[in-house]
Amino acid sequence: MPRSLIQFLPWIATASLLALAWAGWKLRRAWEGLRAAQRAARLERALREFGDLMRDADRPEAHAHELLRDLSALAGLPVAALLRPASGAQDVVLGEPDANALAGLQLCADCGRALGPGTAHHAGEPDLYLPLRGRDEALGAVTLRGLGTQALAADQLAHAQALCDQMGLALQRRRVQDEARRAGELADIQSTRNALLAAISHDYRTPLATIMGSASALQTQGERLNPAQRQELAGRIIDETTRLVRLTDNTLQLARLGAPGVTLRCDWESAEEIVGAALRRVRRRPDGERVKARVAGGLPLLWCDAALMSQLLDNLIDNALKYSPREAAVELLVRRAGDEVLLAVRDRGPGIAAAWRERVFDAFQRGDLAGFAQRPPGAGVGLAVCRAIAEVHQGALSLRPRGHGGCSFEMRLPLRAAPALPEVAA
């Protein structure tokens, strides 16, 4: 080997070592970058999945354990949480925080900022506290216990806070929804109360005046009245009292069925018996003979509240008799329609304009009465009660105009499988 080449060997070796060191450093940087990218992708995927879970959750607090699981897996530490899902409600504590950790959770939730290692507040504390931040307040906090002086990496801390914020936003959204629902319920109650007071002041006044006048005439002039006149006054008292009783029952039933958590007294009932009882009641009226019933044979038993179903039929029949000509028949039809039973009350009255076919089911609405020389008595409560009765039975009540005039009010009641009858011993 030439002497001139030998003197450059140390430099060549040094350059080779430097090149190998630079290549190793670049490879290590590339590997660290790849691992950081993979970790960032995992964190982003976990955050996205948890965000999807919170967005679709009806009760976010029920998924708080998933939040604690993800945070515990992130830091490898025990986790506890404090939730404030409802305004003014008692705090919900998850995990097993001691008295000091519980005080830290409450402080973090009250101030709405992170506390502990790696933060700007109480950095000397051994536990990390992260708030569940909503839009304008914190709705709880979580703590990662035993972190000591070793703070989380910046990306891990940001990821943990982002998970907590997802839970906080979901809790606040649920709180806003609950407040809006309560406000709507209060508005509905107030509207019903106002309408009820208006109905009482208007529709109760006429029958009460009639009852008072007839009773006063019987008391003061009874000896000078002939039997027919006394019978007429007594009949007026009975008719107007019956009207008041019906109006009161419908109004109270409407308020009861509109309240949350209403319970029904359901049992297996025969359609023939329900219709027969309705016919017996309507036959007591002077115009009750106009009602004709057709009940299909072989109908299964109905799972329903018999008292409510009777009230529904009474209201529909009374409505049909009031709004149809005196010489026209009123039909009561019961038949099977697939997996449902159809109960229909049909009349030959003037019908209802298309614009009113849904509004007549609203409380204290009476529709277009232009076809009547004298306004029929009523407060517009009966059909609202009928629809409420249908809905609490998971059924539906609708109005269908008839081809040659008149209306058909049709209730569809879902059928259930009736229990098998016990075998009778021979």
| Spatial contact of 303 and 309, defined as CB atoms under 8 Å apart | no
CA dist., res. 175 & res. 58, Å (int): 11
The pLDDT of residue 137 is above 90: no
Q: What is the pLDDT of residues 178-234, one digit of tens each?
A: 888 888 878 877 776 776 666 666 667 777 888 888 898 888 887 888 888 888 888
Delineate the domains of the chain, giving CATH numbers in brackets.
38-177 (3.30.450.40), 204-257 (no CATH), 267-366+379-414 (3.30.565.10)
Query: What type of residue is 310?
Result: S
pLDDT value of residue 368: 56
User: Distance of alpha carbon 22 from its chain centroid, rounded?
Assistant: 66
Q: What is the pLDDT of residue 422?
A: 57
Question: pLDDT confidence of 152, banded at 50, 70, 90?
Answer: confident
Q: What percent of the chain has pLDDT over 90?
A: 20
Two tokens, residue 169: 């936003």
pLDDT at 146: 84
Evaluate if residue 250 carries a pLDDT over 80.
no
Say what the pLDDT of residue 294 is.
92
Q: How confident is the model at residue 360 (pLDDT cuts 50, 70, 90)?
A: confident
The pLDDT, as a whole number, for residue 46 is: 67
pLDDT at residue 419, rounded to an integer:
67
Q: What is the model's pLDDT at position 88? A: 67
Is residue 252 scored above 80 in pLDDT? no
Mean pLDDT, range 309-319, rounded to an integer: 89
14-44 pLDDT, tens digit per residue, is: 777 777 777 777 677 766 666 655 565 666 7
What are the tens digits of pLDDT across the range 65-108? 888 888 888 888 899 999 987 766 788 898 888 888 999 999 99
Question: CB within 8 A of 98, min separation 6: which ones?
Answer: none
Query: Among 48-52, 113-117, 204-208, 349-353, which range has the highest average pLDDT?
Result: 113-117
pLDDT confidence of residue 192: 65
Burial of 244 (0-12, 13-18, 19+ CB in 10 A): middle
Mean pLDDT of the chain: 81
Question: What is the reported pLDDT for 4?
Answer: 59
- Can you tell me the mean pLDDT for 305-314? 88
CA distance 167 to 56: 12
Residue 50 to residue 46: CA distance in whole angstroms: 6
Long-range contacts of 362-366 (CB under 8 A, 24+ apart): 363/192, 363/195, 363/254, 364/195, 364/198, 364/199
| pLDDT score, position 184 | 85
